[in-house]
Amino acid sequence: MQPDLSGARWRKSSLSADGPSCVEMAFVGNDVAVRDTKNRDGGTLIFRRNDWTTFVNGIKNGHLDDLA
């Protein structure tokens, strides 16, 4: 079931400044919503918060560096 995103507080990295090539995310209950800033109406990916945390920690720890 899709969470209600009507009250979502979207944010993007401060490193992206005003650039359009970013993603933004919002915490919505126990989920994290992610969307493309270039096409905000193009769809939203929904992750469980614990899966999002694992993903972010993997990035911080360099576990995804070989994918670039």
pLDDT digit string, tens, across residues 13-26: 777 777 667 889 99
**What counts of helices (H) and strands (E) characterise the chain?**
1, 3
What integer is the mean pLDDT of 12-39?
86
Query: Quick one: pLDDT at residue 67?
Result: 77
Q: Residues with Cβ < 8 Å from 48, sequence gap 6 or more?
A: 30, 31, 32
Q: How far is CA 35 from the centre of its chain?
A: 6
Give the Cα separation of 54 and 59 in Å (integer): 9
**Do residues 26 and 32 lie in contact, with contact meaning Cβ atoms separated by under 8 Å?**
yes
- pTM, rounded to two decimals: 0.80
Q: Using DSSP, state whether 17 is helix, strand or coil.
A: coil
Query: Quick one: pLDDT at residue 44?
Result: 94
